[in-house]
A and B are shown apart, each in its own frame.
Chain A
């Protein structure tokens, strides 16, 4: 076979055959639309052909291996492809070296963040509208395949193009507002104010405490395992570069088995920090100090497996009324404070292969709920727009089968999974005690807006039957 042609490597490159040592060079970075068109394409080393985009797309689109979804890293003809999908757009790196895969993935994540910082929101349209700015960025972010820097903050001194703000499409319905004081979540969808911060926009800073909850319930309602994956995220629009002090609960303990904290204290299994964070006062007072870089960044990641207040409980009941009919009753109870509420709740479960029809009923007279049976996926969906703390809702699903059920019918139904969001609440009770902005000049008193948000989201929230 003509092996020179089958390889995407350029024959003419004098350096085509490089040895096996550990090198970190990235060859190309490209963005492909969901249809496979190249939106942005930057070649950093001139060692690969442009046709890599097609090779990549073909391999991802028609992945035939054991995994249905192509794994994020694969090798075709000596070219390594590393990709990530964000809002339907493929972010792809290629390399012919044995690079660090975590580096490649973290870099892609960072590129998406930088793009978002500069363009405000992230969509195919906003990329196309800003492509010259993005090329300018890409040339500063990487040179000859080596990462130069991905901090939106540092980059701004080299960038001259102005971003074009593309308006985000309005959602069909507005999320219910629980607290009029909060700014809308769109507030962070604007480009960071670079150029001149004096004339620039408002002096403000956003701190988000995100907690993603994973729980597996036994069918009797007991919790089999539970965990919280938390992130403290920040987006700064502060002028100057003031030092911040972010204080957390004083009784916070870190490490499993370090049961030194009193009852009710927050116990973290493990955590990690952004590199700008100084931890001198963390051990003693749980204070982190840092100069926030412009743009969005993660201050701290943490995870918790100790007990916490379960936000929603799921109770399933079976009624085997006749050989061809099974009834499943699902009760959901919101165990959150009454002042809080869950939104965008979706409960779903699969039904047996032999199902011919499903009819579902929610409580009488309830509003803002609907049910659906997707006969193709054989899934029952139950949507609840809003659910206040302390309330409960019930769903009755009558499942009609084409053949008589056996004892194992329960196994074919379920697991029941649930998605939700709870604004202004976090089950771990990890709190920002205060966020202090140190004055940059003596005597200067800055009082920027400080938005601290707590958001809880479901991650893997499942009840087994």
Chain B
């Protein structure tokens, strides 16, 4: 007693010293001293609950900073029986935190859980249910079910809502238990619960379960639609978001759509922008099916814009950013939605850069003949802002407006010209000489406008080219200037001199500049042959001989031949009409827009990517190469010829274009799903089935067609495989290793285009190619694939368990993960036979350590059969000896496990066998021996 009170005093002193009052938790973070655990232990066993509370807090503090306090577990656990609710909650807080890191130990407390599950306080009852849900172990499932089943029927809604979520957690661990105890039914019943929070959680749990199975656990019916609409008014704001998202998945009739829209429109003025955004999403989707045109245009024009703008006017840049990214998508569907609201997108001085850049994007989209003058005034003002990234993008936006709107081009040109004039290069030396970046970028944008509207701005050309390249040191603008010099060589008197200067500095130009210079010089020659003749010869020579860049060299050759063959033709080709350019910066493929519009108010709308590209299992997180992408690549590359020198924008712009191209490409690939009836191309594989058949020594060919081969083991059941059941095994044929898979498809879609990856493993197996050759597997049907594997040193991970091969298979239902245990004998090569003499000398030369094994109840007992069976598995018979004294037969075998010879001695004694193996690597000897004797069991 005295010791405990002294400790309490000590505690007080300590807290006084820190002047933070007795309840300040930060002191629990103070450093661990020696014997701290012992001290805590005694405090946990103190008689005063206050001391204990303090001690538990300290323990939790240590745990959150990653200290090991597991030794105190039993002491904390003892305190679970307390009647003090605060202390009880603390103990549970400890257990919950612990359960996540060390679930096994928590099993010790299971008995106390059952007691507390009947506690009079609903807080404690719910706490028990929440806690057991965090112990992710199959072993606890039995303890789970009773409290959970009571909890789902508890009189207190707080317990019921916790229990509803817990069903989803349990389903993750043991779907069988959930089915067995009828929890799904109970969950569905909770949808009609009187408490909105219980309903919301039941819906959440059901949709989560629905996603992890192929079954229709939860589907929206017209009846459900009404229930959801009714519940929406009762829900918290978060519940409303959830319900709105459920609604957005439903495909309504025109009549239903009208009703729903009427009910959803009031959500647009919710102060929580998540509610407003989800409401926008539902309304836009439902408006598509509404037949009443006046309602459509009324809602679109009067109801949608203002709430979106109101989110922008808030002081939370994060929310503005989300809204802007969404608006960008909506505008690609409803192009005129915000025509009258452009000023709300003007950048504020204190907007973070990421908001400003998005605003520029949106403004470029909204720009039209009525509002462009206002916009231009803004963009001109942005030119004097401090942030360079913002200024560059603003200038580029001026170019976009000019290219988009014919009427705006002249005014845009004037603004750009002002930029060029007001940022001239100084007369100084070095850096001082260079033209301001504003002017340089403005010039690059001008080149785009000149390209779009040829022969309209000759005056401007004369002005900006007054000093030629003097002072231009940014690569994009340099190339742009060169292009202008070539294109307008006929009106720029000094063009030859300027180009001459560029040629002198040819090697200092970047690739774009060099390509542009090549073209410009040829143009000069075609337009002013006398001035250009010597230049063009010199340059073509330089570009085709000295230069290492193949693009440049090829282009030089093409020009050279063209000029040499027929100058008239060359003129037609090189000075011919150029393809009209249009502004498609950030513009998405219509099919992608469609996907994104249906994914408004989701992360997809922020990334501007269909969800399958970034949600786990998507292409970007796992770089699977699918061949169809290849084909598209080739298509894309064809349209590059004269246009190549059009890429004279600033770096960023170009990057963006590439990004969009890439986006388009990948999304097209992702979206392309071949019609169900179309079989995938005939695989060019060896006659797998026959070989497999042979290998297995099975006579019944028909059975193999229909049934999975008995050798294959179930590696993934259909519930985990989202409807795809997989059986797998390994085999060796003609010196190659194959992964044999058998698929049973119980999902609703045709499965084809599988791609595979293997995690690094002990032996270093890797797939020979990423694409799996397999016939399309129709719903309800089955299919098989034999995928060739190779051994790669870089795929070796010695830390992995020997037989463990982790496999990721990409399918139409998502990426599936499973592991298929490797039978080591597939590694035995065909050249493992050893002559008797060599066998003896090798045996003696190997380390003395032997792997050994004992097998009783042999299935195959006769030496001849053993030889035959092992021979098939590339375990070669070397010699045999019969010991007269003991009556035992000794058989000697050799094998080669992927380059490592292994020698085996089998001693037969009736139905049992003793085996010994030697190799330079004892681990390999062990594995080989086990694999070989396995064949005899």
Give me the interface of A with B, judged by CB distance under 8 Å.
Answer: 2-4, 7, 9, 11, 14-25, 40-41, 43, 46, 66-69, 71-73, 75, 77-80, 84, 95-103, 105-109, 125, 128-133, 135-136, 139, 143-144, 146-151, 158, 160-162, 164-166, 212, 214, 216, 224-225, 227, 229, 269-275, 298, 300-301, 303, 305, 350, 403, 406-408, 411-412, 414-415, 417, 459-462, 464-465
Cβ-defined contact, B315 with A212, below 8 A: yes
8 further contact pairs, Cβ within 8 A, besides A139-B96, A272-B310, A412-B384: A11-B759, A46-B100, A100-B601, A100-B602, A143-B162, A144-B166, A275-B271, A301-B271
- Which residues, 86 to 135 on B, are CB-close (under 8 Å) to A? 86, 89-90, 93, 96-97, 100, 123, 130, 133-134
By CB atoms of chain A within 10 A, which of B313, B432, B602, B607 has the most? B313
Cβ-defined contact, B161 with A148, below 8 A: yes
Please encode chain B, from 598 to 627, with 1 for each CB lying within 8 Å of some chain A CB and 0 for all others: 010111111100011011111011110000
Cβ-defined contact, B813 with A19, below 8 A: yes
Q: With A14-B720, A270-B307 known to touch, is A23 a contact of B211 (CB < 8 Å)? A: yes
Chain A residues closer than 8 Å to B241, beta-carbon distance:
24, 100, 103
Q: Which residue of B lies closest to A212 (CB)?
A: B315
Cβ-defined contact, A415 with B381, below 8 A: yes
Binds A, one of B316-324, B567-575, B629-637, B688-696: B316-324
Chain B residues closer than 8 Å to A144, beta-carbon distance:
133, 165-166, 168-169
Query: CA A40 – CA B97 in complex, angstroms?
Result: 12
Query: Within the complex, which residue of A84, A102, A128, A214 is in contact with B26, where a contact is CB–CB below 8 Å?
Result: A128
Q: Is B522 part of the binding interface, using a Cβ–Cβ cutoff of 8 Å?
A: no
Q: Is B722 part of the binding interface, using a Cβ–Cβ cutoff of 8 Å?
A: yes
Q: Is B306 part of the binding interface, using a Cβ–Cβ cutoff of 8 Å?
A: yes
Chain A residues closer than 8 Å to B207, beta-carbon distance:
21, 23
Q: With A98-B599, A139-B130 known to touch, is A21 a contact of B269 (CB < 8 Å)? A: no
Q: How far is the CB of A268 from chain B (nearest CB, A)?
A: 10
Cβ-defined contact, B245 with A24, below 8 A: yes
Chain A residues closer than 8 Å to B64, beta-carbon distance:
40-41, 131, 135
What secondary structure prevails in chain B residues at the interface with A?
helix
Q: With A72-B317, A275-B272 known to touch, is A18 a contact of B720 (CB < 8 Å)? A: no
Cβ-defined contact, B353 with A105, below 8 A: no
Q: How far is the CB of B167 from chain A (nearest CB, A)?
A: 10
Q: How far is the CB of B181 from chain A (nearest CB, A)?
A: 19
Q: With A69-B354, A129-B25 known to touch, is A135 a contact of B93 (CB < 8 Å)? A: yes
Cβ-defined contact, A100 with B422, below 8 A: no
Q: How far is the CB of B141 from chain A (nearest CB, A)?
A: 13
Chain A residues closer than 8 Å to B24, beta-carbon distance:
129, 164
Query: CA A21 – CA B615 in complex, angstroms?
Result: 10
Chain B residues closer than 8 Å to A136, beta-carbon distance:
89, 93
Cβ-defined contact, B20 with A143, below 8 A: no
Query: CA A92 – CA B268 in complex, angstroms?
Result: 27
Binds A, one of B144-152, B273-281, B730-738, B833-841: B273-281
Q: Is B37 part of the binding interface, using a Cβ–Cβ cutoff of 8 Å?
A: no
Q: How far is the CB of A399 from chain B (nearest CB, A)?
A: 15
Q: How far is the CB of B173 from chain A (nearest CB, A)?
A: 8
Chain A residues closer than 8 Å to B387, beta-carbon distance:
68
Q: Is B204 part of the binding interface, using a Cβ–Cβ cutoff of 8 Å?
A: yes
Query: CA A80 – CA B817 in complex, angstroms?
Result: 21
Cβ-defined contact, B621 with A77, below 8 A: yes
| Ranked 7 nearest A-B pairs via Cβ | A408-B422, A460-B348, A78-B621, A103-B274, A102-B274, A270-B306, A72-B318
Cβ-defined contact, A96 with B616, below 8 A: yes
Cβ-defined contact, B309 with A73, below 8 A: no
Query: CA A212 – CA B161 in complex, angstroms?
Result: 41
Cβ-defined contact, A100 with B277, below 8 A: yes
Q: With A14-B172, A164-B20 known to touch, is A406 a contact of B422 (CB < 8 Å)? A: yes
Binds A, one of B423-431, B452-460, B499-507, B872-880: B423-431
Cβ-defined contact, A408 with B272, below 8 A: no
Q: How far is the CB of B707 from chain A (nearest CB, A)?
A: 28
Query: CA A2 – CA B248 in complex, angstroms?
Result: 38
Query: CA A289 – CA B143 in complex, angstroms?
Result: 49
Cβ-defined contact, B813 with A102, below 8 A: no
Cβ-defined contact, A98 with B165, below 8 A: no
Cβ-defined contact, A23 with B208, below 8 A: yes
Q: With A18-B212, A301-B271 known to touch, is A128 a contact of B25 (CB < 8 Å)? A: yes
Q: With A272-B310, A415-B349 known to touch, is A131 a contact of B814 (CB < 8 Å)? A: no
Chain A residues closer than 8 Å to B348, beta-carbon distance:
214, 459-460
Q: Which residue of A lies closest to B272 (CB)?
A: A106
Chain A residues closer than 8 Å to B269, beta-carbon distance:
270-273
Cβ-defined contact, B238 with A149, below 8 A: yes
Chain B residues closer than 8 Å to A129, beta-carbon distance:
20, 24-26
Cβ-defined contact, A100 with B278, below 8 A: yes
Query: CA A15 – CA B343 in complex, angstroms?
Result: 47
Cβ-defined contact, B61 with A131, below 8 A: yes
Chain A residues closer than 8 Å to B531, beta-carbon distance:
none
Q: Is B365 part of the binding interface, using a Cβ–Cβ cutoff of 8 Å?
A: no
Query: CA A401 – CA B841 in complex, angstroms?
Result: 92
Chain A residues closer than 8 Å to B793, beta-carbon distance:
none
Chain B residues closer than 8 Å to A464, beta-carbon distance:
381, 384
Chain B residues closer than 8 Å to A24, beta-carbon distance:
204, 241-242, 245
Query: Within the complex, which residue of B240, B349, B615, B757 is in contact with A78, where a contact is CB–CB below 8 Å?
Result: B615
- Which residues, 16 to 55 on B, are CB-close (under 8 Å) to A? 20-21, 23-26, 29
Chain B residues closer than 8 Å to A158, beta-carbon distance:
123, 158
Query: CA A417 – CA B815 in complex, angstroms?
Result: 53
Cβ-defined contact, A18 with B616, below 8 A: yes
Chain A residues closer than 8 Å to B249, beta-carbon distance:
22
Cβ-defined contact, B357 with A18, below 8 A: no
A-B contacts, 10 listed (Cβ < 8 Å): A17-B616, A78-B614, A80-B614, A102-B274, A130-B25, A136-B93, A164-B25, A269-B306, A272-B276, A417-B349
Query: CA A224 – CA B347 in complex, angstroms?
Result: 13
Query: CA A318 – CA B839 in complex, angstroms?
Result: 101
Q: How far is the CB of B220 from chain A (nearest CB, A)?
A: 13
Q: Is B352 part of the binding interface, using a Cβ–Cβ cutoff of 8 Å?
A: yes
Chain B residues closer than 8 Å to A109, beta-carbon distance:
316
Query: CA A150 – CA B618 in complex, angstroms?
Result: 33
Cβ-defined contact, B322 with A73, below 8 A: yes
- Which residues, 395 to 436 on B, are CB-close (under 8 Å) to A? 421-424, 426, 428, 432
Query: CA A332 – CA B53 in complex, angstroms?
Result: 60
Query: CA A131 – CA B604 in complex, angstroms?
Result: 34
Query: CA A149 – CA B197 in complex, angstroms?
Result: 9
Chain A residues closer than 8 Å to B816, beta-carbon distance:
17
Query: CA A459 – CA B275 in complex, angstroms?
Result: 26
Q: Which residue of A lies closest to B388 (CB)?
A: A68
Query: CA A96 – CA B276 in complex, angstroms?
Result: 23
Q: With A102-B273, A102-B277, A158-B123 known to touch, is A17 a contact of B817 (CB < 8 Å)? A: yes
Please encode chain B, from 453 to 493, with 1 for each CB lying within 8 Å of some chain A CB and 0 for all others: 00000000000000000000000000000000000000000
Cβ-defined contact, A71 with B169, below 8 A: no
Query: Within the complex, which residue of B169, B351, B617 is in contact with A20, where a contact is CB–CB below 8 Å?
Result: B617
Q: Is B829 part of the binding interface, using a Cβ–Cβ cutoff of 8 Å?
A: no
Query: CA A339 – CA B638 in complex, angstroms?
Result: 73
Q: How far is the CB of B326 from chain A (nearest CB, A)?
A: 8
Chain A residues closer than 8 Å to B100, beta-carbon distance:
43, 46
Q: With A43-B100, A132-B25 known to touch, is A19 a contact of B722 (CB < 8 Å)? A: yes
Query: Within the complex, which residue of B377, B614, B815 is in contact with A75, where a contact is CB–CB below 8 Å?
Result: B614
Cβ-defined contact, A67 with B273, below 8 A: no
By CB atoms of chain B within 10 A, which of A17, A79, A274 has the most? A17
Cβ-defined contact, A25 with B208, below 8 A: yes
Query: CA A460 – CA B355 in complex, angstroms?
Result: 14
Chain B residues closer than 8 Å to A224, beta-carbon distance:
377
By CB atoms of chain B within 10 A, which of A107, A146, A160 has the most? A146
Cβ-defined contact, B25 with A160, below 8 A: no
Chain B residues closer than 8 Å to A84, beta-carbon distance:
318
Q: How far is the CB of B455 from chain A (nearest CB, A)?
A: 30
Query: CA A410 – CA B464 in complex, angstroms?
Result: 22
Query: CA A341 – CA B233 in complex, angstroms?
Result: 45
